[in-house]
Amino acid sequence: MFQVFPFTAIVGQERMKRALILNAISPQIGGVLIRGERGTAKSTAARALAALLPDIRVVADCPFACDPTDPDLLCDRCRERRDAGESLPEAVRQTSFINLPVSATEDRVVGTLDIERAIKLGERHFEPGVLASANRGLLYVDEINLLDDHVVDLLLDSAAMGVNVVEREGISFRHPARFILVGTMNPEEGELRPQLLDRFALCVDIEGIADRAARVDILERRVRYEQDPEGFCAEWCAIEAALTERIATARALLPEVTYDRSHLYAIAELTAEMRVDGHRADIVILKTALAHAAFGGRRVVGEPDILLAAELALPHRLHRSPLEDTQSQLQRLEQRLERARAEAEEGEPSPSSSVPEPAKKKVTR
Ligand SMILES: [Zn+2]
């Protein structure tokens, strides 16, 4: 069996890992955009994340991988079957990893309704698209800046709404489309339109790692993985399993995590101070902070959660001019983050360290 490079064996890039994990805990945060040069582990990380996510219980013969335990999240087909008194067959499946090619069209993504068949035979026939196979999985788009704007728009809508509705000539079909959206781009190959950029919930800029010891770790792990994928993955198996478990626990805890008005004021203060346009950032910070609290095993959101969420939600939403302003804004956020991290480290386990480090070496970014 093909062994994906373990997520926890990726050296450094803590911010990227945190953004991915939090989106996996709460896909409706609305997607992660990873910007960086080629060869910076972007696609490795996305694949690796899908591979470690907990298995899911599905309706065995449903192309949308409906969740049999949640009647609110059934596709039209499963709902009709259930309403007709059928008991839906169940199966357990791995979290899917769907790689969307940049040539994908709207029909390919959302699926199609066969109108001719509906008119001639009076039956509704829906041909599932990519969003069907992506439900409850991870949808990965490499070089998303090269994808048709309209299609990017559709993906972002579905990721945030968690549902795909296709309507034609008065006929409609609806199925759940809750997926972890991960887009990557190399800024040197063209930008994403600002309107689309703002709709990506989280954004991380990653760079190659300059630290020599860390570079040696990257090299060593890569070589060992290539020589003996199974042996290498076996070494990381326990750490991977621990993270899988922690994500599953966080998912279960998430609906119980609470906040009050003071947290909302803290978020508003932050976004007002940073002069962020619109209100999308505030909502994203809240959702991300809740996921971060759940990941830390806490039932109440705290300031560190809010700040660490802001660090992921703000970089692509700050005014680009004048440059000095942006830099000092980021510095101020950085200072607050430092304090928040220090506070978080006093408690345990540190919610900011997304992944336990391997036993033998301490890796620095
Ligand atoms: Zn279904």
DSSP run (H or E) holding 309: helix 303-313
Q: At what angle do helices 261-273 and 280-295 cross, to 10 degrees?
A: 130
Distance 105 CA to ligand 1 centre (A): 23
- List residues, by chain if needed, whose CB lies under 5 Å from ion ligand 1: 62, 64, 66, 75, 78
DSSP strand E in the chain: where? Answer: 32-36, 56-59, 90-93, 97-99, 112-113, 126-127, 138-141, 163-168, 171-176, 180-185, 202-206
Compute the half-sphere exposure of residue 212: CA atoms within 13 Å on the CB side of its CA.
0
Distance 311 CA to ligand 1 centre (A): 37
Report pLDDT for 78: 93
- Give the pLDDT confidence of 63-83 residue by residue, as tens digits: 999 999 888 889 999 999 999
Distance 78 CA to ligand 1 centre (A): 4
- Prediction pTM value: 0.85
> Beta-carbon neighbour count of residue 118 at 10 Å?
17
Distance 68 CA to ligand 1 centre (A): 8
- The rounded distance, in Å, linking the Cα atoms of 55 and 51 is 9
Distance 73 CA to ligand 1 centre (A): 8
In 90-211, which ranges are continuous DSSP H helix?
106-110, 115-121, 130-134, 149-161, 194-199
Are the beta carbons of 288 and 201 closer than 8 angstroms? yes
Whole-number Cα distances in Å, 167 to 126, 131, 159, 210: 10, 15, 18, 51
Residues of the chain with pLDDT under 50: 347-357, 359-365
Are the beta carbons of 28 and 202 closer than 8 angstroms? no
Class of residue 180 by CB neighbours under 10 A (exposed 0-12, middle 13-18, buried 19+): buried
- The rounded distance, in Å, linking the Cα atoms of 351 and 18 is 10
> Beta-carbon neighbour count of residue 332 at 10 Å?
13
Report pLDDT for 183: 93
Report pLDDT for 326: 61
Distance 305 CA to ligand 1 centre (A): 35
Residues with a known catalytic role: 280
Report pLDDT for 327: 64
Nearest Cα to Cα of residue 355 among 104, 19, 31: 19
- The rounded distance, in Å, linking the Cα atoms of 303 and 116 is 56
Question: What dihedral do alpha carbons 270, 275, 281, 287 form, nearest 10°?
Answer: 0
Which residues contact residue 191 at a Cβ distance below 8 angstroms, ignoring those fewer than 6 apart? 145, 197
Which residues contact residue 312 at a Cβ distance below 8 angstroms, ignoring those fewer than 6 apart? 15, 18, 19, 22, 32, 202, 203, 204, 288
- The rounded distance, in Å, linking the Cα atoms of 278 and 15 is 24
Whole-number Cα distances in Å, 157 to 164, 201, 242, 309: 9, 11, 32, 21
Report pLDDT for 108: 92
- Measured between its terminal Cα atoms, the distance across the chain in Å is 32
Report pLDDT for 357: 47
